[in-house]
Amino acid sequence: MTDRWRVSANLATLANGLLGLGAILYTLAGNKLWAMLLIAIAIGFDGLDGIFSRRSPKGPSRFGRVADSVADALTFGVAPAVLIAVHTGNLGLWDPWTTVAIGVAAAYLAAALARLAYFTTRAFRHPYFLGVPTPQSALGLIVALLFHDTPAFEGVAPVGLFVGSLVIAALMVVPIPYPKARRGTPLAIPMVLTAVAAAIALVPLQFRPPPGSFGYLLAEAASVAFLVGVASYYLVGPFTVRRAGGTRSTGGSS
């Protein structure tokens, strides 16, 4: 008999990977805003993958865990790295930094792949994450892009983006515990509100509202709320983790 929960989890994983591929293509085509929106949507499918896996009477399969990490590598590793490395607008500002951008992108990708490899082989057993998980890292990068690249609420700032990207990359591989934002955990509601803020920020921006317009100001205000939500996970998250007496994890974002 077919396990519908496992099938649903695999479909969610597939959707995650396809959205990541779409984000890469949009970035190469010069539309970073659509790429960022697709990555944010993919985080929702990544969450559904974990929910469906935990509902399966057989539990998560090894294939599903590996497939999830492969999809995450594409969507939350390769796609963000391409966002860092590829710049088709404001070329006068970005061209002198081309080599640095590629180097920072490579460092980000290496950290994401190392984090996913560790999760797939060992860390999935923990009821918490070691290092910031790749979806939350992608959200952090999107915040950096919104303020320092596109639409650059604080102005185009290559150095700001690169420093932020390297900090995010480092936090993926440091052995600091971070919580899984599930129902009943202290950060569950703040993370839901962060997702809402991300949607409010990213959706209006797809229509390219002019600076000073209602849509632009709404997106800017939502981006600030988005920033606060992501920062709260990074800064407060480790203090909400109970490392002793935890139970084995049965899936989730990596």
CATH number at residue 181: 1.20.120
Q: What is the pLDDT of residue 243?
A: 61
What residues contact residue 247 under an 8 Å CB cut-off, 6+ apart? 127
Q: What is the pLDDT of residue 61?
A: 65
pLDDT digits (tens, 9 = 90+) for 119-142: 778 756 678 888 999 999 999 999
Q: How far apart are CA 37 and CA 226, in angstroms?
A: 13
Examine residue 252 and state whether it is found in any structural domain, yes or no: no
**Residue 180 amino acid letter:** K
Q: How far apart are CA 178 and CA 28, in angstroms?
A: 33
Examine residue 247 and state whether it is found in any structural domain, yes or no: no
Examine residue 149 and state whether it is found in any structural domain, yes or no: yes
Percent of the chain with pLDDT over 90: 69
Examine residue 191 and state whether it is found in any structural domain, yes or no: yes
What is the distance of C-alpha 217 from the center of its chain?
24
Q: How far apart are CA 35 and CA 24, in angstroms?
A: 7
Examine residue 206 and state whether it is found in any structural domain, yes or no: yes
Examine residue 248 and state whether it is found in any structural domain, yes or no: no
Examine residue 215 and state whether it is found in any structural domain, yes or no: yes
Q: How far apart are CA 111 and CA 142, in angstroms?
A: 17
Examine residue 249 and state whether it is found in any structural domain, yes or no: no
pLDDT digits (tens, 9 = 90+) for 213-247: 999 999 999 999 999 999 999 999 999 987 644 44
Q: How far apart are CA 23 and CA 21, in angstroms?
A: 5
Strand, helix or coil at 207?
Answer: coil
Please tell me the least confidently modeled range out of 65-69, 95-99, 110-114. Answer: 65-69
Domain of residue 236, residue span: 4-240
Q: How far apart are CA 214 and CA 200, in angstroms?
A: 12
Alpha carbon separation from 201 to 27, 143, 189 (Å, rounded): 18, 10, 18
pLDDT digits (tens, 9 = 90+) for 24-62: 999 999 999 999 999 999 999 998 888 888 787 766 666
Q: How many domains does the chain have?
A: 1
